[in-house]
Amino acid sequence: MLRLKLGRRTLMLGAVSSLLLGLIAVGVVGALGIVGWEYSNSNQFCATMCHAVHPEEIVNHAGSSHARVNCVECHMGRTSTLHLMALKPTHFKELWGMIVGYERPLHGSTLRPAREACEACHWPENEHHDKIVVRKRFATDAASSQRDYRLVLHTSAGVDRDATWKASGIHWHIDNVVEFVTTDPQRREIPWVRIVRPDGSAVTYVDKASKLSQAELANLQPRRMECFDCHNQVGHPFRNPVDLVDEALAAGTIDRSLPSAKARAVGIIDAVGDLKGSREENAARIDAVIAADAAKHPVKPEDREKEQAFLARMKEILLRTAVQPHEGESFTWRSFPNHAGHKDFPGCFRCHDGKHFNDKGEAIRLQCTLCHDLPQVSVENGKGSVPSVVAAGLTPPPSHNEPNFMHDHRMKIDESCQMCHGKIEFGREGGAFCSNPACHGRTWPEVNLNVAPAAAAPPAAPAPATKAKG
């Protein structure tokens, strides 16, 4: 018998009543624990309680292809609740950093291995077909002329359900063991790469232009390549504002009929420069530049509505791509490299750059067609278009698969090349393959085809790779 003293009255509780109250208390505590657990894993908690020091991630996540993927699904993985509970204490360092202060994070340090996160949706053994991508770009002439770049991306091919899964193209990096070392947390520099073949043998490539010694390379810890070593901005991308202008022109939210719309947009972006203030200060700076541009470009009465939409869209783009300073340090979208692709940052060219050689003097293959077909270019007025650069049914000669082909082919051009690529005409204005504006006549980040393919010195062998932690 349980006695509870309530003022002048004494409440007598039997064993059944005591058990019932105990169960209710356990239920309440359990419910509160579940609510607390769910809240601690919510995007709201991540955005407002933990990561107020970098609010741009929250904004960019909402506009990304993974907007409906919760933060914890990547940063803690999709695994059992017990496993997640064990992982939760490892994130306390983030909370401590919020209390005592820390540098603004420029990379994700808590991403889980792909098997626990990415591959819960993107099952690599599933068959992936080629994908056609069309990028629309606009010139800075008065008509903002359109130029389309058409690419066929080779995600994966050659899937055989009755044998070992063999990938080619982009997913070759998943089907094979690729290890690398890097000198910075954002993995911009990759001086050493090792590929382990199915039979257990390995081949190592070293960046011949790197200034690291063999001893320094040996002290770097190798890691196995993960999906997010390339796809590092799928969660919250930091976009080039010029690309957003092109997308707005393609979608019609910026009207191309406005004279020199693209040129004006680029001029506004350049005049605003790198925004380094608070959101209010940035908005004031943007308003001043936009007002000055509008004053220099008066429009006809019938175009005023288009003009107002243009100015509003430009302000939205500039505010979206601005990154607020943190503890005296300034950042821009360039502070966050996108490793998928190779337009604004090296990306693929961190390894496929023409200067990573093995001990036989063979480079990591740089052939563009490993990951995509030769790009086709369509210019609005037809001049300079490159609709196709290879005739159907032709098989590339064996020389195209040689490791150093990209370095050597320019010295071996002859009339036989015209069978596939048409008339040999150099330049950057299109019309022929060697003047294809999608490939030639431009500079790509980190690519250096002038490094001689001489045999590299045997590299020091780092320790075996460990499981990636982010």
pLDDT for 236: 87
Region at 126 (left for phi over 0; alpha for psi -120 to 50; beta for the rest): beta
Return the structure tokens found at 27: 């239920």
Q: How many other β-carbons are positioned within 10 Å of the β-carbon of residue 158? A: 12
Helix (H, G, I), strand (E, B) or coil at 177: strand
Least confident of 105-109, 149-153, 396-400: 105-109
CA-closest candidate to residue 322, choices 82, 55, 72: 55
pLDDT band, residue 116 (cuts 50/70/90): confident
Which domain-ending residue is among 68, 89, 120?
A: 120
Q: What is the CATH number of the domain that holds 30?
A: 1.10.3820
When pLDDT is cut at 50, 70 and 90, the band that residue 202 belongs to is: very high
Full 3-state SS string of 81-138 = HHHHHHHHHHHHHHHHHHHHCCCCCCCCCCCCCHHHCHHHCCCCCCCCCCEEEEEEEE
| Residue 13 pLDDT greater than 90, yes or no | no
Region of 224 please: left (phi>0), alpha (psi -120 to 50) or beta.
beta
Residue 454 lies in a domain: no
Residue 366 included in any domain:
no
Please give the tally of structural domains in the chain: 2
In this structure, the strands spanning 323-326 and 376-379 are unpaired
User: Whose structure tokens read 């698969």?
Assistant: 401
User: Helix 261-272 crosses helix 279-296 at what angle (to 10 degrees)?
Assistant: 140
Query: Residue 354 — φ and ψ, nearest 5°?
Result: 85, 5
- Give 113's contacts (C-beta < 8 A, 6+ positions apart): 77, 226, 467, 468
- Nearest in space to 40 (alpha carbons), one of 2, 83, 3, 76: 76
Distance (Å, rounded) from C-alpha 167 to C-alpha 157? 6
- What is the percent of the chain where pLDDT is above 70? 87
- Distance of alpha carbon 7 from the chain centroid: 67
User: In this structure, is residue 53 part of a structural domain?
Assistant: yes
Residue 47 is assigned to a structural domain of this protein: yes
The Cα–Cα gap between 225 and 114 comes to 10
pTM above 0.85, yes or no: no
Task: Establish if 188 belongs to a structural domain.
Answer: no
Residue 231 forms part of a structural domain? no
User: Is 382 part of a structural domain of the chain?
Assistant: no
The residue range of the domain holding 81 is 2-120
420-456 per-position pLDDT tens digit:
888 888 888 888 888 888 888 778 888 877 776 554 4
pLDDT digits (tens, 9 = 90+) for 291-344: 999 999 999 999 999 999 999 999 999 999 998 887 777 889 999 999 998 999
Last residue of a domain, one of 120, 155, 176: 120
- Of the candidate ranges 97-101, 153-157, 238-242, 291-295, the one whose mean pLDDT is the lowest: 97-101
Amino acid at 324: Q
pLDDT in the model for residue 293: 96
Q: Which of the listed residues 120, 140, 162 is the one where a domain comes to its end?
A: 120
- Give the DSSP per-residue string, 346-402: -GGGGTSSS-EE-TTSPBPP--GGGTBPPPEEEETTSTT-B--SS-TTPPPPGGGGS
> Cβ contacts of residue 29 below 8 Å, gap of 6+?
none
Is position 25 within any domain? yes
Q: Are 246 and 254 in contact (CB under 8 A)?
A: no
Mean pLDDT for 121-133 is 78
> Stretch 119-133: mean pLDDT, rounded?
79
Q: Return the biggest CA–CA distance within the chain.
A: 110
Residue type for position 320: R
In angstroms, the Cα distances linking 402 to 133, 396, 398, 450 are: 27, 12, 7, 17
Identify residue 108 by its one-letter amino acid code. G
